[in-house]
Amino acid sequence: MQSTEAKRWGQKDAGMIGGGCLGVGRVLCCLALVLACAGAVAGETLRSAARGMFPMGVGISDRIGNLTNDWSLLTAQFSMVTPENCMKPNPVQVVEGRFNFTQPDAFMAFASEQKLQVVGHCLVWAKDDRTPPWFYREGTNEASSALLLERMKKHIDTVAGRYRGRVAMWDVVNEALDDGTNYLRPSGWSKACGEEFILKAFEYAHAADPGALLIYNDYNNELPAKREKLIRLVQTLQKRKAPLGAIGLQGHYEIGQVPFKDIEDTLIAMKKLGVKVVVSELDIDVIPRARWWADGGKHREELAKLDPYKEGCPPEVLRQQADDYAKLFGLFRKYAPNIARVSFWNLHDGESWLNDFPWRRVNHPLLFDRERKPKPAFDAVVRVLVSP
Protein backbone atom coordinates (compact mmCIF):
# COMPACT_ATOMS: atom_id res chain seq x y z
CA MET A 1 0.00 0.00 0.00
CA GLN A 2 0.99 3.59 -0.35
CA SER A 3 3.77 4.91 1.80
CA THR A 4 3.30 8.62 2.16
CA GLU A 5 5.97 11.24 2.65
CA ALA A 6 3.78 13.97 4.03
CA LYS A 7 0.21 12.71 4.44
CA ARG A 8 -1.12 15.90 2.86
CA TRP A 9 -4.45 14.25 2.41
CA GLY A 10 -4.68 12.88 5.93
CA GLN A 11 -5.61 16.19 7.51
CA LYS A 12 -9.26 15.97 8.36
CA ASP A 13 -9.81 19.66 7.65
CA ALA A 14 -6.65 21.62 7.18
CA GLY A 15 -8.48 24.94 7.11
CA MET A 16 -10.23 24.62 10.45
CA ILE A 17 -8.88 25.60 13.82
CA GLY A 18 -9.05 23.13 16.69
CA GLY A 19 -10.01 20.11 14.54
CA GLY A 20 -10.72 16.76 16.15
CA CYS A 21 -13.79 15.47 17.91
CA LEU A 22 -12.86 16.64 21.37
CA GLY A 23 -11.42 20.07 20.57
CA VAL A 24 -12.71 23.49 21.52
CA GLY A 25 -14.30 23.70 18.09
CA ARG A 26 -16.40 20.64 18.89
CA VAL A 27 -17.65 22.16 22.12
CA LEU A 28 -18.68 25.27 20.22
CA CYS A 29 -20.40 23.08 17.67
CA CYS A 30 -22.40 21.39 20.41
CA LEU A 31 -23.35 24.80 21.77
CA ALA A 32 -24.48 25.77 18.32
CA LEU A 33 -26.55 22.61 18.19
CA VAL A 34 -28.32 23.54 21.42
CA LEU A 35 -29.03 26.98 20.01
CA ALA A 36 -30.30 25.51 16.76
CA CYS A 37 -33.06 27.53 15.23
CA ALA A 38 -35.87 26.28 12.97
CA GLY A 39 -33.60 26.29 9.90
CA ALA A 40 -29.99 25.18 9.71
CA VAL A 41 -28.07 24.25 12.83
CA ALA A 42 -26.88 27.70 13.83
CA GLY A 43 -23.47 28.62 12.56
CA GLU A 44 -22.57 25.22 11.19
CA THR A 45 -21.11 24.70 7.74
CA LEU A 46 -20.43 21.41 6.02
CA ARG A 47 -16.75 21.63 6.81
CA SER A 48 -17.27 22.51 10.44
CA ALA A 49 -19.94 19.84 10.91
CA ALA A 50 -17.75 17.15 9.31
CA ARG A 51 -14.61 18.17 11.17
CA GLY A 52 -12.85 15.21 12.74
CA MET A 53 -14.66 12.83 10.35
CA PHE A 54 -13.62 13.64 6.78
CA PRO A 55 -12.80 16.71 4.69
CA MET A 56 -15.67 18.05 2.60
CA GLY A 57 -14.90 18.66 -1.04
CA VAL A 58 -16.59 19.71 -4.25
CA GLY A 59 -15.99 19.45 -7.98
CA ILE A 60 -16.15 22.96 -9.40
CA SER A 61 -16.05 24.82 -12.65
CA ASP A 62 -12.64 25.24 -14.23
CA ARG A 63 -13.49 28.94 -14.48
CA ILE A 64 -13.87 29.36 -10.73
CA GLY A 65 -11.36 32.22 -10.80
CA ASN A 66 -13.96 34.30 -12.68
CA LEU A 67 -16.99 33.14 -10.71
CA THR A 68 -16.52 35.57 -7.88
CA ASN A 69 -20.10 35.11 -6.64
CA ASP A 70 -19.26 31.50 -5.83
CA TRP A 71 -16.23 32.18 -3.69
CA SER A 72 -17.78 32.83 -0.30
CA LEU A 73 -20.06 29.79 -0.46
CA LEU A 74 -17.19 27.63 -1.66
CA THR A 75 -14.68 28.61 1.00
CA ALA A 76 -17.20 28.63 3.84
CA GLN A 77 -18.45 25.12 3.12
CA PHE A 78 -15.59 23.17 1.57
CA SER A 79 -11.90 22.58 2.11
CA MET A 80 -11.06 20.57 -1.03
CA VAL A 81 -11.76 21.21 -4.70
CA THR A 82 -11.65 19.08 -7.84
CA PRO A 83 -11.48 20.81 -11.23
CA GLU A 84 -14.51 19.59 -13.17
CA ASN A 85 -12.78 19.19 -16.54
CA CYS A 86 -9.53 21.05 -17.14
CA MET A 87 -7.07 18.41 -15.84
CA LYS A 88 -8.50 15.57 -17.89
CA PRO A 89 -6.32 14.01 -20.62
CA ASN A 90 -8.44 15.50 -23.37
CA PRO A 91 -8.00 19.19 -22.62
CA VAL A 92 -4.47 18.74 -21.25
CA GLN A 93 -2.89 16.81 -24.12
CA VAL A 94 -5.32 16.80 -27.00
CA VAL A 95 -2.37 16.70 -29.42
CA GLU A 96 0.62 14.51 -28.60
CA GLY A 97 3.35 16.45 -26.81
CA ARG A 98 1.42 19.73 -26.82
CA PHE A 99 0.40 20.18 -23.20
CA ASN A 100 -2.09 22.88 -22.25
CA PHE A 101 -1.78 23.99 -18.64
CA THR A 102 -3.42 27.40 -18.86
CA GLN A 103 -6.60 26.45 -17.00
CA PRO A 104 -5.06 23.91 -14.62
CA ASP A 105 -2.41 26.45 -13.58
CA ALA A 106 -5.06 29.11 -12.99
CA PHE A 107 -7.11 26.58 -11.01
CA MET A 108 -4.13 25.65 -8.84
CA ALA A 109 -3.34 29.32 -8.21
CA PHE A 110 -6.93 30.02 -7.19
CA ALA A 111 -6.98 27.03 -4.82
CA SER A 112 -3.73 28.08 -3.25
CA GLU A 113 -4.90 31.70 -2.72
CA GLN A 114 -8.11 30.43 -1.13
CA LYS A 115 -6.29 27.81 0.96
CA LEU A 116 -8.24 24.97 -0.62
CA GLN A 117 -6.68 21.55 -1.13
CA VAL A 118 -6.83 20.13 -4.66
CA VAL A 119 -7.93 16.75 -5.94
CA GLY A 120 -6.44 16.15 -9.40
CA HIS A 121 -8.89 14.59 -11.86
CA CYS A 122 -7.92 12.47 -13.75
CA LEU A 123 -4.69 11.05 -15.15
CA VAL A 124 -6.18 8.18 -17.16
CA TRP A 125 -9.83 7.97 -18.17
CA ALA A 126 -10.23 4.41 -19.40
CA LYS A 127 -12.95 5.20 -21.91
CA ASP A 128 -12.30 5.63 -25.60
CA ASP A 129 -14.46 8.73 -26.02
CA ARG A 130 -12.55 10.39 -23.18
CA THR A 131 -9.04 9.51 -24.36
CA PRO A 132 -7.39 11.59 -27.10
CA PRO A 133 -7.34 9.17 -30.09
CA TRP A 134 -3.62 9.63 -30.81
CA PHE A 135 -2.81 7.69 -27.62
CA TYR A 136 -3.95 4.50 -29.33
CA ARG A 137 -2.35 4.97 -32.74
CA GLU A 138 1.01 4.20 -34.28
CA GLY A 139 0.91 5.43 -37.86
CA THR A 140 -2.06 3.67 -39.38
CA ASN A 141 -1.83 0.78 -36.91
CA GLU A 142 -2.90 0.35 -33.32
CA ALA A 143 -0.21 1.35 -30.86
CA SER A 144 1.61 -1.51 -29.14
CA SER A 145 1.11 -1.90 -25.41
CA ALA A 146 4.70 -0.71 -24.87
CA LEU A 147 4.03 2.52 -26.76
CA LEU A 148 0.72 3.07 -25.00
CA LEU A 149 2.40 2.70 -21.61
CA GLU A 150 5.27 4.95 -22.65
CA ARG A 151 2.75 7.64 -23.63
CA MET A 152 0.87 7.14 -20.40
CA LYS A 153 4.08 7.54 -18.42
CA LYS A 154 4.96 10.74 -20.21
CA HIS A 155 1.48 12.14 -19.61
CA ILE A 156 1.48 11.25 -15.92
CA ASP A 157 5.08 12.43 -15.35
CA THR A 158 4.30 15.75 -16.98
CA VAL A 159 0.95 16.44 -15.32
CA ALA A 160 1.39 14.95 -11.84
CA GLY A 161 5.05 16.05 -11.87
CA ARG A 162 4.10 19.66 -12.62
CA TYR A 163 1.93 19.84 -9.48
CA ARG A 164 4.06 17.55 -7.32
CA GLY A 165 3.57 18.35 -3.65
CA ARG A 166 0.55 20.57 -4.35
CA VAL A 167 -2.17 18.04 -5.14
CA ALA A 168 -3.55 16.22 -2.10
CA MET A 169 -5.18 13.36 -4.00
CA TRP A 170 -5.17 12.19 -7.60
CA ASP A 171 -7.86 10.25 -9.42
CA VAL A 172 -5.30 8.11 -11.18
CA VAL A 173 -7.57 5.85 -13.19
CA ASN A 174 -11.21 6.67 -13.88
CA GLU A 175 -13.98 4.26 -14.88
CA ALA A 176 -11.99 1.19 -16.01
CA LEU A 177 -14.51 -1.46 -14.85
CA ASP A 178 -17.13 -2.75 -17.25
CA ASP A 179 -20.85 -2.15 -16.73
CA GLY A 180 -21.70 -5.40 -18.50
CA THR A 181 -20.32 -8.89 -18.25
CA ASN A 182 -16.64 -8.15 -18.86
CA TYR A 183 -14.24 -7.46 -16.03
CA LEU A 184 -12.71 -4.39 -17.66
CA ARG A 185 -14.47 -1.88 -19.90
CA PRO A 186 -13.48 -2.54 -23.50
CA SER A 187 -11.15 0.30 -24.52
CA GLY A 188 -7.87 0.91 -26.26
CA TRP A 189 -6.25 0.60 -22.85
CA SER A 190 -7.68 -2.76 -21.83
CA LYS A 191 -7.39 -4.16 -25.35
CA ALA A 192 -3.66 -3.48 -25.57
CA CYS A 193 -2.60 -3.98 -21.95
CA GLY A 194 -5.27 -5.87 -20.01
CA GLU A 195 -5.34 -4.67 -16.41
CA GLU A 196 -1.60 -3.96 -16.48
CA PHE A 197 -2.30 -0.36 -17.53
CA ILE A 198 -4.05 0.28 -14.20
CA LEU A 199 -1.11 -1.01 -12.19
CA LYS A 200 1.33 1.02 -14.28
CA ALA A 201 -0.73 4.19 -13.93
CA PHE A 202 -0.48 3.91 -10.15
CA GLU A 203 3.25 3.24 -10.26
CA TYR A 204 3.88 6.20 -12.56
CA ALA A 205 1.67 8.51 -10.48
CA HIS A 206 3.42 7.51 -7.27
CA ALA A 207 6.83 8.15 -8.81
CA ALA A 208 5.67 11.56 -10.07
CA ASP A 209 4.10 12.67 -6.77
CA PRO A 210 4.90 10.34 -3.86
CA GLY A 211 2.88 12.26 -1.26
CA ALA A 212 -0.47 12.29 -3.03
CA LEU A 213 -3.24 9.86 -2.10
CA LEU A 214 -3.81 7.81 -5.24
CA ILE A 215 -7.37 6.85 -6.12
CA TYR A 216 -9.13 4.39 -8.39
CA ASN A 217 -12.43 6.17 -9.21
CA ASP A 218 -15.62 4.73 -10.72
CA TYR A 219 -19.45 4.93 -10.78
CA ASN A 220 -21.96 2.27 -9.72
CA ASN A 221 -19.09 0.36 -8.18
CA GLU A 222 -21.14 -0.15 -5.03
CA LEU A 223 -23.66 -2.28 -6.97
CA PRO A 224 -23.02 -5.99 -6.35
CA ALA A 225 -21.86 -7.08 -9.82
CA LYS A 226 -19.48 -4.18 -10.28
CA ARG A 227 -18.39 -4.39 -6.64
CA GLU A 228 -17.10 -7.91 -7.28
CA LYS A 229 -14.94 -6.50 -10.07
CA LEU A 230 -13.79 -3.70 -7.81
CA ILE A 231 -12.77 -6.21 -5.13
CA ARG A 232 -10.89 -8.23 -7.74
CA LEU A 233 -9.10 -5.10 -8.92
CA VAL A 234 -8.15 -4.02 -5.39
CA GLN A 235 -6.85 -7.50 -4.59
CA THR A 236 -4.81 -7.60 -7.78
CA LEU A 237 -3.33 -4.18 -7.12
CA GLN A 238 -2.55 -5.12 -3.55
CA LYS A 239 -0.91 -8.37 -4.63
CA ARG A 240 1.24 -6.42 -7.06
CA LYS A 241 2.03 -3.86 -4.32
CA ALA A 242 0.57 -0.98 -6.30
CA PRO A 243 0.47 2.36 -4.45
CA LEU A 244 -3.33 2.37 -4.26
CA GLY A 245 -4.46 4.82 -1.58
CA ALA A 246 -8.25 4.81 -1.92
CA ILE A 247 -11.25 3.76 -3.92
CA GLY A 248 -13.49 6.50 -5.26
CA LEU A 249 -17.24 5.88 -5.14
CA GLN A 250 -18.51 8.60 -7.44
CA GLY A 251 -21.97 8.60 -5.86
CA HIS A 252 -24.21 9.88 -8.67
CA TYR A 253 -27.55 8.80 -7.22
CA GLU A 254 -31.22 9.22 -8.06
CA ILE A 255 -33.92 10.35 -5.67
CA GLY A 256 -35.73 7.53 -3.86
CA GLN A 257 -33.34 4.97 -5.31
CA VAL A 258 -30.11 5.44 -3.40
CA PRO A 259 -28.65 1.92 -2.93
CA PHE A 260 -27.98 2.30 0.79
CA LYS A 261 -27.38 -1.37 1.51
CA ASP A 262 -25.02 -1.75 -1.43
CA ILE A 263 -23.13 1.33 -0.32
CA GLU A 264 -22.79 -0.01 3.21
CA ASP A 265 -21.72 -3.44 1.95
CA THR A 266 -19.08 -1.75 -0.19
CA LEU A 267 -17.82 0.40 2.67
CA ILE A 268 -17.49 -2.77 4.76
CA ALA A 269 -15.78 -4.67 1.93
CA MET A 270 -13.22 -1.90 1.38
CA LYS A 271 -12.53 -1.69 5.09
CA LYS A 272 -11.92 -5.44 5.18
CA LEU A 273 -9.49 -5.09 2.29
CA GLY A 274 -7.71 -2.33 4.19
CA VAL A 275 -8.31 0.33 1.55
CA LYS A 276 -9.74 3.78 2.20
CA VAL A 277 -12.78 5.15 0.40
CA VAL A 278 -13.51 8.60 -0.96
CA VAL A 279 -16.99 9.63 -2.03
CA SER A 280 -15.83 11.60 -5.00
CA GLU A 281 -18.73 13.07 -6.99
CA LEU A 282 -21.87 13.03 -4.88
CA ASP A 283 -25.26 14.26 -6.10
CA ILE A 284 -28.90 13.12 -5.99
CA ASP A 285 -30.77 13.70 -9.25
CA VAL A 286 -34.41 14.69 -8.60
CA ILE A 287 -35.41 13.74 -12.16
CA PRO A 288 -34.43 10.07 -12.38
CA ARG A 289 -32.56 9.31 -15.58
CA ALA A 290 -32.13 5.51 -15.63
CA ARG A 291 -34.89 5.10 -18.25
CA TRP A 292 -32.71 6.99 -20.72
CA TRP A 293 -30.62 3.82 -21.16
CA ALA A 294 -33.43 1.28 -20.78
CA ASP A 295 -35.12 -0.72 -23.56
CA GLY A 296 -32.63 0.16 -26.25
CA GLY A 297 -33.12 3.90 -25.75
CA LYS A 298 -36.77 3.92 -26.83
CA HIS A 299 -37.85 6.39 -24.11
CA ARG A 300 -35.42 9.08 -25.11
CA GLU A 301 -37.72 11.14 -27.29
CA GLU A 302 -40.25 11.35 -24.47
CA LEU A 303 -37.61 12.00 -21.78
CA ALA A 304 -35.95 14.74 -23.80
CA LYS A 305 -39.14 16.79 -23.26
CA LEU A 306 -39.32 16.05 -19.53
CA ASP A 307 -38.55 19.13 -17.48
CA PRO A 308 -40.92 18.95 -14.51
CA TYR A 309 -39.20 21.32 -12.11
CA LYS A 310 -38.26 24.24 -14.30
CA GLU A 311 -40.35 26.62 -12.17
CA GLY A 312 -38.81 25.26 -8.96
CA CYS A 313 -38.51 22.02 -7.05
CA PRO A 314 -41.66 21.09 -5.02
CA PRO A 315 -41.22 20.97 -1.22
CA GLU A 316 -42.08 17.28 -1.01
CA VAL A 317 -39.33 16.45 -3.50
CA LEU A 318 -36.85 18.57 -1.58
CA ARG A 319 -37.93 16.73 1.59
CA GLN A 320 -37.38 13.32 0.04
CA GLN A 321 -34.00 14.47 -1.22
CA ALA A 322 -33.11 15.72 2.26
CA ASP A 323 -34.09 12.34 3.73
CA ASP A 324 -31.95 10.52 1.18
CA TYR A 325 -28.96 12.75 1.88
CA ALA A 326 -29.44 12.40 5.66
CA LYS A 327 -29.44 8.62 5.43
CA LEU A 328 -26.35 8.70 3.23
CA PHE A 329 -24.42 10.92 5.61
CA GLY A 330 -25.50 8.66 8.48
CA LEU A 331 -23.61 5.91 6.67
CA PHE A 332 -20.62 8.10 5.91
CA ARG A 333 -20.45 9.09 9.55
CA LYS A 334 -20.65 5.46 10.68
CA TYR A 335 -17.69 4.53 8.47
CA ALA A 336 -15.87 7.87 8.77
CA PRO A 337 -12.57 6.37 10.02
CA ASN A 338 -12.22 4.68 6.63
CA ILE A 339 -13.44 7.63 4.55
CA ALA A 340 -10.75 10.05 3.36
CA ARG A 341 -13.09 12.64 1.78
CA VAL A 342 -16.67 13.32 0.74
CA SER A 343 -17.00 15.54 -2.34
CA PHE A 344 -20.08 16.80 -4.15
CA TRP A 345 -20.08 17.17 -7.92
CA ASN A 346 -20.68 20.88 -8.49
CA LEU A 347 -21.23 23.72 -6.07
CA HIS A 348 -24.91 24.55 -6.52
CA ASP A 349 -27.92 23.38 -8.54
CA GLY A 350 -27.37 25.93 -11.29
CA GLU A 351 -23.91 24.52 -12.02
CA SER A 352 -24.72 20.81 -11.95
CA TRP A 353 -23.79 18.66 -14.95
CA LEU A 354 -27.23 17.08 -14.47
CA ASN A 355 -28.87 20.14 -16.03
CA ASP A 356 -27.40 18.96 -19.35
CA PHE A 357 -26.91 15.23 -19.06
CA PRO A 358 -28.36 13.05 -20.46
CA TRP A 359 -30.91 15.64 -21.61
CA ARG A 360 -31.45 19.34 -20.87
CA ARG A 361 -33.62 19.98 -17.82
CA VAL A 362 -33.70 22.24 -14.77
CA ASN A 363 -32.26 19.98 -12.10
CA HIS A 364 -31.87 20.34 -8.34
CA PRO A 365 -29.38 17.66 -7.21
CA LEU A 366 -27.18 19.48 -4.68
CA LEU A 367 -27.33 21.05 -1.22
CA PHE A 368 -27.42 24.67 -2.46
CA ASP A 369 -29.97 26.17 -4.84
CA ARG A 370 -29.39 28.52 -7.77
CA GLU A 371 -29.25 31.49 -5.41
CA ARG A 372 -26.55 29.61 -3.50
CA LYS A 373 -28.93 29.27 -0.55
CA PRO A 374 -28.95 26.11 1.57
CA LYS A 375 -31.77 23.68 0.78
CA PRO A 376 -33.54 21.33 3.22
CA ALA A 377 -30.91 18.72 2.32
CA PHE A 378 -28.18 20.99 3.69
CA ASP A 379 -29.92 21.21 7.08
CA ALA A 380 -30.48 17.47 7.08
CA VAL A 381 -26.83 16.69 6.37
CA VAL A 382 -25.52 19.11 8.98
CA ARG A 383 -27.90 17.74 11.60
CA VAL A 384 -26.72 14.19 10.97
CA LEU A 385 -23.09 15.23 11.17
CA VAL A 386 -23.38 17.18 14.43
CA SER A 387 -25.85 14.92 16.23
CA PRO A 388 -24.39 13.44 19.42
Helix (H, G, I), strand (E, B) or coil at 163: coil
Q: How far is Cα 305 from Cα 291, in angstroms, rounded to an integer?
A: 13
Distance of CA 369 to the CA centre of its chain: 20
Residue 220 CB, nearest approach to ligand G3I (Å)? 11
Amino acid making up residue 125? W
Is 175 one of the annotated active-site residues of the chain? Answer: yes
Strand (E) positions, the chain? 56-60, 80-83, 117-125, 137-138, 141-142, 169-174, 213-218, 246-249, 252-254, 276-285, 339-345
Q: Does 221 bind ligand G3I (CB under 6 A)?
A: no
Site for ligand G3I in 280-309 (CB under 6 A): 281
Question: Catalytic one among 44, 84, 254, 281?
Answer: 281
Q: Interface residues for ligand G3I in 18-57 (CB under 6 A)?
A: none
Residue count at the site for ligand G3I (CB under 6 A)? 6
Complex with ligand G3I: residue 52 or 365, whichever CB lies closer: 365
Q: What is the dihedral of CA 182, 236, 245, 134, to 10 degrees?
A: -50
Closest-approach residue to ligand G3I (CB) = 353
Which of 44, 175, 203, 254 does the annotation list as catalytic? 175
Provide the minimum distance between the beta carbon of 25 and ligand G3I in the complex, in angstroms, as a whole number.
33
* 351 is an active site residue: no
CB 82 within 8 A of CB 59: yes
Is position 13 an interface residue for ligand G3I (rule: CB under 6 A)? no
Characterize the bridge pairing of strands 213-218 and 252-254: unpaired
Nearer to ligand G3I, 314 or 358 (CB): 358
Choice between 48 and 174, CB closer to ligand G3I: 174
Q: Per CB under 6 A, which of residues 336..355 are in contact with ligand G3I?
A: 353
Q: How far is the CB of 104 from ligand G3I (least distance, A)?
A: 14
Q: How far is the CB of 386 from ligand G3I (least distance, A)?
A: 30
> Which of positions 264-283 make contact with ligand G3I (CB under 6 A)?
281
Compute the least distance from the CB of residue 354 to ligand G3I, in Å: 8
Within positions 174 to 213, which residues make up the interface with ligand G3I, using CB under 6 A? 174
Is residue 250 at the binding interface for ligand G3I, with CB under 6 A as the rule? yes
Secondary structure of 46-97 in HEC code, one letter for each residue: HHHHCCCCCCEEEEECCCHHHCHHHHHHHHHHCCEEEECCCCCHHHHCCECC
Query: Phi/psi class of residue 251: alpha, beta or left (left: φ > 0; alpha: ψ in -120 to 50)?
Result: left
Judge residue 187's burial from the number of C-beta atoms within 10 Å of its C-beta, 0-12 exposed, 13-18 middle, 19 or more buried: buried
Question: Which of residues 285 and 379 has its CB atom nearest to ligand G3I in the complex?
Answer: 285
We find the least distance from the C-beta atom of residue 62 to ligand G3I, in angstroms, to be: 8
367 touches 325 (CB < 8 A): yes
Q: Which residues pair with 58 in a beta bridge?
A: 81, 344
Residue number with CB closer to ligand G3I (13 or 281): 281
Nearest distance from C-beta of residue 272 to ligand G3I, angstroms: 26
Question: 65 to 94, contacts with ligand G3I by CB under 6 A?
Answer: 84-85
* Beta-bridge partners for 124: 173
With 0-12 / 13-18 / 19 or more C-beta atoms within 10 angstroms meaning exposed / middle / buried, residue 371 is exposed
Closer to ligand G3I by CB, 13 or 84: give it. 84
Phi, psi of 68 (to 5 degrees): -60, -30
Burial of 83 (0-12, 13-18, 19+ CB in 10 A): buried
Decide whether 174 or 363 has the Cβ nearer to ligand G3I.
174
Who's near 153: CB < 8 A, 6+ residues apart? 200, 204
- Footprint of ligand G3I on this chain (CB under 6 A)? 84-85, 174, 250, 281, 353
Question: Which residues are catalytically annotated?
Answer: 175, 281
